[in-house]
Amino acid sequence: MNNNNNHNNSESPNVEYPVEGLSCANCTREMQEAIQKLEYGSDARLSYVNSKLTIHPNADISHVDRILKGDGARIIHIKEHSLDDHHEHPADPHHGHSHDAEGNQLIKWLLGIAVVIYLLTFVLKNVLPEPLLIAMYMIVIALSGYSTFWRGLNNLIHLKFNMDTLMTVALTGAVVIGEWKEATLVAILFGVNELLEGYGMDRARKSIKALLANAPKEAALLSNGNVVHVPISSLRVGDLVRVRAGEKIPSDGIINDGNSSVNEAAITGESIPVTKKPGDYVYGGSVNTDGLLDIRIEKAYEESSLAKIMHLVQEAQDSKTPTELFIDKFAKYYTPAIMIVAILVILIPPLLLGQPWMKWVYQGLAILIVGCPCSLVLSSPIALVSGMTRSARNGILIKGGVHLEQLGKMQVLAFDKTGTLTQGVPSVMEEAIYDPERFYDVAGTLEQSSLHPLAKAIVRHIYHQHESPISPESTQLTTLPGLGIQGEIGGRTYWMGSEDIITHVATTDSEQMNMVNHDILRLKEQGLTLVITVDETHVLGIFGLADTIRPETKDVIRQLHQAGITQTVMLTGDHEQSAQMIATEAGVSSYYAGLLPEQKVDHIKRLSSQWKVAMVGDGINDAPALATAQLGIAMGKGTDSAMETADIVLMQDHLGKLPSAIHMARQVNRIIGWNIGISLSLKAIALLLTIPGWLTLWIAILSDMGATIIVTLLGMTILLGKDQS
């Protein structure tokens, strides 16, 4: 059949539909494959994690609905081209598989009643006649396993083999050979199994919904002096909104009027409020904690930092890691293989070895139950979703499960120096003064109008450290390319700049010049950048400046080494002495100085050829290196460049949460490894029991349910971890 899937190349954007009743990751994958065979369906994505279907708008939704209902799922809202235009579909009479709150409550009640009736059969087995006991067993099977039975029967008709098919065949076989008690237990325990599976993923989904709840719903728009409450989707750049104490800021903007403290935890993960004043930037989703703020909107909500975070988090849940892709592929062939093994176990001993048929039919049915891939398929998704959601809650945006998995495997972290390990703002670290009366006045007057970072640092130093007034006297400033500046103050000419500026000094005072040369050498050995102030005959003084290390850097590097990072490398374009000073103070394993951007890329490539390497930067001037590394990590407090360039974004303006992110990523990888090992080990042990003929339906269902319980609980432990403050 020609599906005309080339139609999907049209410009129409895909639409999303919420889906109810997705029972398991494996079933969801199979339904997605069926939907992709429809016309306009080749790009369709059915998300088990987010319970959403994304599909081309021209696709026939009635055909999609039939595929979903075949597994007990359904579309609950139709959203054509507007979020407001939707309608409900009638409930499917066979739908008993939903894992929403009401669905879970119904399953709990049905299973509870089934368990009570099942226990009564033990009490009344010597009182009631066998036909009545069988009727009670049938009621229990109907209450706890009817949805599985219908789906499995439908699968058999279509020759589709999955866990529902296995359970249906096992259940039917147990009833046929008269093992009512064990058939009933199979139905009950599989029902419990499904409830636990749904509960685990439901907890992960709720954690995502809690994160999405940070999004504000409406804004107080100031229009012609009046306050009008409007949906945030209607806000435009330039609108003025009013935010009262306790309200959420609707979108990114700049404070027009008012002072307050703002809690930016929704963006940065840091709960300590930040003081804000007019002219300061604020983020949508942040909470105004006390004062009244009037904010000029800088970004429409869909372009705001919070909206981008929400979108990236939801996209990240749907991405598949190599581990998940392997498990999906394995499960696709594993289930039919188990059915073949079960058939061989049933046929070979009776036909070739003369063994009793009933015994080996029973063993074959037990193998079908052991072969259920529920726990294997669940090994990864719950842990990954929990990890990414907890990270986002903690102000760490991970753009996909594959990046979370990679983060847990990193061996080497390469850091950009400026703005990452250091403050990115130079400060005066030391000074040599030869003319105390004129030095600060002249330096301040020459530098006060300059926008150069070194000039700003000098003016800041004079103001705050020495409280010296800067002369307002006008000067005639001239820029000397490659040297510094020249200016006139009170009829005298002065120069400020690098050490070459000394060539303007005509002096016979060799003693002073020896002292100056000694100080220049001493300050340069400390890795400081020098700015020297001179007149025609004297050197007035020297400022030694450096980019200071961030207060958390040393502790972060130590924690990273403790977390198992084998090497920390600093890459910088700064000169050797400055780089050595910062590297020694930070405690990094090695450093490379004097690098151009393309040389940083070369170093990343060389390191990547030997180890698994992540590059950490501010996402602004190190984009090539971030893109070249196996994993790019940017700190940028929500800057567009950081979000677009990096695989992982630290939403704070510091590295403090990087060690906890690596610890959590390694925990996720460990749990996924444990889950896969536990799942396969329990199944292998149960299958080995078929060799002496010891495998029973009781052991089979307990091994399968036990594996699912362990896998679910281990995956959920990640959500229980304490967020870093």
**pLDDT level of residue 432 (50, 70, 90 thresholds):** very high
**pLDDT level of residue 321 (50, 70, 90 thresholds):** low
Phi, psi of 99 (to 5 degrees): -115, 25
CA distances from 612 to 321, 421, 631 (A): 17, 21, 9
Q: Does pLDDT of 329 surpass 90?
A: no
From the list 211, 288, 296, the residue with the least C-alpha distance to 249 is 288
From the list 76, 67, 82, the residue with the least C-alpha distance to 15 is 82
Burial 34-54 (b: 16+ CB within 10 A, else e): bbbebbbbbebebbbbbbbbb
What are the structural domain ranges in the chain?
A: 5-75, 103-208+316-382+671-716, 218-307, 396-422+549-665, 423-548
DSSP reduced 3-state for 219: strand
The identity of residue 346, as a single letter, is: I
Instruction: Determine what percent of the chain is predicted with pLDDT higher than 90.
Output: 15
Chain segment 375-431, per-residue pLDDT in tens: 777 788 788 888 887 887 788 888 778 888 899 999 999 998 877 888 878 888 899
**Catalytic positions, written as ranges:** 416
Q: Which comes out higher in pLDDT, residue 143 or 325?
A: 143
pLDDT recorded at residue 558: 94
Q: Nearest 10 degrees: CA dihedral of 675, 677, 680, 682?
A: -90
**pLDDT level of residue 92 (50, 70, 90 thresholds):** very low
pLDDT recorded at residue 245: 85
Q: Does pLDDT of 82 surpass 60?
A: no
pLDDT recorded at residue 515: 92
Fold of 5-75: Alpha-Beta Plaits (3.30.70)
Q: Does pLDDT of 167 surpass 60?
A: yes
- Bridge partners, 479 (sequence order): 485
Chain segment 205-239, per-residue pLDDT in tens: 565 566 556 667 888 999 887 889 998 888 889 99
Mean pLDDT, residues 691-699: 77
pLDDT recorded at residue 312: 62
From the list 300, 233, 250, 282, the residue with the least C-alpha distance to 241 is 250
pLDDT recorded at residue 688: 85
Q: Does pLDDT of 99 surpass 50?
A: no
Chain segment 544-555, per-residue pLDDT in tens: 988 888 889 999
From the list 534, 524, 542, 550, the residue with the least C-alpha distance to 461 is 542
Chain segment 454-468, per-residue pLDDT in tens: 888 898 888 876 665
Mean pLDDT, residues 514-542: 89
Greatest mean pLDDT range, 72-86, 186-200, 575-589: 575-589
Q: Does pLDDT of 96 surpass 60?
A: no
Superfamily name and number for 423-548: Calcium-transporting ATPase, cytoplasmic domain N (3.40.1110.10)
CB count within 10 Å of CB 90 equals 6
CA distance 133 to 38: 47
Chain segment 245-301, per-residue pLDDT in tens: 888 888 899 999 998 888 876 666 555 678 888 998 888 888 888 788 999 999 887
**pLDDT level of residue 318 (50, 70, 90 thresholds):** low
pLDDT recorded at residue 88: 38
pLDDT recorded at residue 556: 93
The identity of residue 16, as a single letter, is: E
The DSSP symbol for 248 reads: B
Instruction: Determine what percent of the chain is predicted with pLDDT higher than 70.
Output: 81
Q: Does pLDDT of 104 surpass 70?
A: no
pLDDT recorded at residue 253: 92
pLDDT recorded at residue 643: 59
DSSP reduced 3-state for 356: coil
Q: Does pLDDT of 471 surpass 70?
A: no
For the chain, the average pLDDT equals 79
Is residue 171 within 8 Å of residue 146, measured between CB atoms?
Answer: no
Chain segment 5-46, per-residue pLDDT in tens: 444 444 457 788 888 777 666 677 778 888 888 888 888 888
Q: Does pLDDT of 145 surpass 90?
A: no
Mean pLDDT, residues 656-662: 90
Phi, psi of 391 (to 5 degrees): -65, -45
pLDDT recorded at residue 268: 63
Q: Write the class of the CATH domain 218-307.
A: mainly beta
Q: What is the CATH number of domain 396-422+549-665?
A: 3.40.50.1000
Q: Which comes out higher in pLDDT, residue 187 or 116?
A: 116
Kindly tell me the sign of the dihedral angle through the C-alpha atoms of 252, 255, 256, 258.
positive
CA distance 73 to 44: 16
Q: Which residues contact 600 (CB under 8 A, 6 or more apart)?
A: 416, 571, 622, 624, 625
Mean pLDDT, residues 78-100: 39
Phi, psi of 449 (to 5 degrees): -95, 0
Q: Does pLDDT of 240 surpass 90?
A: yes
Chain segment 338-369, per-residue pLDDT in tens: 888 888 988 998 998 888 888 888 888 888 77
